[in-house]
């Protein structure tokens, strides 16, 4: 056992089913860090220096174990020619998808992560954060997974209809998107990230059924993980919003190193199902984090941490944390790990 764990040591121990001094804390709070420096969300997602300042300042205030660099779901689609709107205090959202017809798709070029849209901004933010905090801090940079990218390319409703109306085209979109995930994620890794987190909200079973996930999406998820592994990216995470229990084994079978699960999931039961196969990150409700007392947050964290002896556990929020999250509730999460997460 290491005598003195750095945040990176702690996170890597959890990812490798080793026993650190305590369960690490890793928050899904990138946009919420804007509050740490008194600016709006638009100020950080359009400026890498401001984004770095917010991320690092929040990390130093609260003392959690890793920094998640993510912004919104539009980055890849915007880099392909989509048009996004930037409200003052929320993530960007697409107002025009880059693909409106098959003809558009077949003319489309993959974006260059070093040149197109905000991809270079996110790479630069990763570089700046790594330079600021050094090598002892865990950094996870986020990209969208294939299904999320495809939904932003053509629109969510259109994509769901394609499963039935034109499954061949649906699969072509997924193949194209899978290549983007690997290429962009690999550049994030080169910029300084330890892990690549892939946002796949569309894979929730409330959006796409288990049959369609296993037949269409899981093969692409496997391909993405294989692509990352071949590029030296050995640590990777799928974050799936909402419920995923019916596809839990299928997601784990992709070879992904960790699964970032949302609050509707029975995390303890799911960890028991998988054993020492895939690390779990989560899963305190972001809504509870906003509205509940520190005592309630401590109680919720203690429940998650009660399964720590199975190893492979990271305490975190179930999904994106709101900027309205009270500072005392963030502190309660970190302190809960120190109290109830000690091995």
Q: Which of 117, 126, 44 is nearest to 83 (CA)?
A: 117
Q: Which of 180, 284, 199 is nearest to 239 (CA)?
A: 199
User: Which residues contact residue 190 at a Cβ distance below 8 angstroms, ignoring those fewer than 6 apart?
Assistant: none
First to last CA, the chain: 11
Note the pLDDT of residue 2.
57
Can the peptide bond before residue 26 be classed as cis, meaning omega within 30 degrees of 0? no
Question: Is residue 315 scored above 70 in pLDDT?
Answer: yes
The pLDDT tens digits of the residues spanning 13-23 come to 999 999 999 99
Give 228-273 as a DSSP string. Answer: HHHTT---EEEEE-S--GGGHHHHHTTT-SEEEE-TTS-HHHHHHH
The pLDDT tens digits of the residues spanning 297-314 come to 999 999 999 999 999 999
Question: What does the alpha-carbon distance between residue 13 and residue 194 come to, in Å, rounded to a whole number?
Answer: 13
Note the pLDDT of residue 330.
98
Mean pLDDT of 324-330: 98
Specify the 3-state DSSP secondary structure of 107.
helix
Cβ 302 vs Cβ 7: under 8 Å: no
> Looking at the DSSP assignment, which residues form a beta bridge with residue 69?
141
The pLDDT tens digits of the residues spanning 67-78 come to 999 999 999 999
Sketch the domain layout of the chain as residue ranges.
7-340
Question: Which pTM value belongs to this model?
Answer: 0.96
Specify the 3-state DSSP secondary structure of 143.
strand
Task: With residue 282 as reference, give the H or E element that holds it.
Answer: strand 279-284
> Looking at the DSSP assignment, which residues form a beta bridge with residue 195?
140
Note the pLDDT of residue 1.
55
Residue 307 Cα distances to 301, 312, 342, angstroms: 11, 10, 12
Degrees to nearest 5, angle at CA 78 with 183 and 251: 50
Architecture of domain 7-340: Alpha-Beta Barrel (3.20)
Cβ 122 vs Cβ 79: under 8 Å: no
The pLDDT tens digits of the residues spanning 205-231 come to 999 999 999 999 999 999 999 999 999
The pLDDT tens digits of the residues spanning 6-45 come to 999 999 999 999 999 999 999 999 999 999 999 999 999 9
Cβ 201 vs Cβ 207: under 8 Å: yes
Q: Which of 291, 313, 311 is nearest to 301 (CA)?
A: 313
Question: What does the alpha-carbon distance between residue 23 and residue 10 come to, in Å, rounded to a whole number?
Answer: 7
Greatest Cα pair distance in the chain: 60
Cβ 77 vs Cβ 146: under 8 Å: no
Place of tokens 């892939």: 198
The pLDDT tens digits of the residues spanning 108-122 come to 999 999 999 999 999
């Amino acid at each position: 056992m290491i005598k003195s764990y750095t945040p990176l040591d702690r996170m890597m121990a959890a990812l490798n089913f080793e026993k650190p001094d305590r369960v690490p804390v890793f928050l899904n709070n990138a946009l919420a860090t804007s509050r740490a420096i008194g600016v709006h969300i638009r100020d950080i997602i359009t400026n890498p220096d401001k984004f770095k300042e917010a991320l690092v300042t929040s990390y130093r205030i609260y003392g959690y174990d890793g920094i998640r660099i993510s912004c919104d779901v539009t980055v890849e689609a915007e880099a392909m020619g989509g048009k996004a709107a930037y409200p003052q205090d929320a993530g960007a959202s697409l107002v025009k998808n880059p693909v409106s017809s098959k003809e558009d798709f077949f003319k489309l070029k993959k974006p260059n992560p070093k040149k197109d849209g905000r991809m270079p901004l996110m790479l630069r933010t990763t570089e700046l954060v790594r330079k600021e905090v050094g090598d002892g801090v865990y950094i996870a940079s986020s990209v969208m997974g294939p299904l999320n990218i495809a939904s932003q390319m053509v629109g969510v409703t259109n994509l769901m209809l394609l499963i039935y109306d034109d499954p061949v085209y649906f699969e072509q979109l997924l193949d194209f998107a899978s290549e983007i995930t690997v290429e962009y994620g690999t550049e994030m890794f080169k910029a300084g990230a330890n892990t690549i987190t892939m946002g796949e909200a569309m894979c929730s079973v409330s959006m796409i059924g288990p049959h369609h996930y296993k037949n269409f999406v899981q093969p692409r998820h496997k391909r993405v993980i294989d692509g990352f592994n071949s590029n030296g990216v050995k640590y990777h995470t799928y974050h799936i919003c909402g419920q995923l229990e019916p596809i839990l084994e299928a997601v784990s079978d992709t070879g992904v190193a960790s699964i970032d699960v949302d609050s509707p999931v029975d995390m303890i039961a799911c960890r028991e199902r998988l054993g020492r196969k895939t690390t779990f990150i989560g899963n305190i409700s972001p809504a509870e984090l906003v509205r509940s007392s520190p005592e309630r947050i401590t109680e919720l964290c203690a429940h998650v941490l009660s399964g720590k002896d199975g190893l492979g556990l990271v305490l975190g929020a179930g999904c994106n944390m709101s900027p309205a999250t009270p500072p005392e509730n963030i502190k309660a999460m970190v302190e809960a790990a120190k109290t109830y997460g000690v091995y």
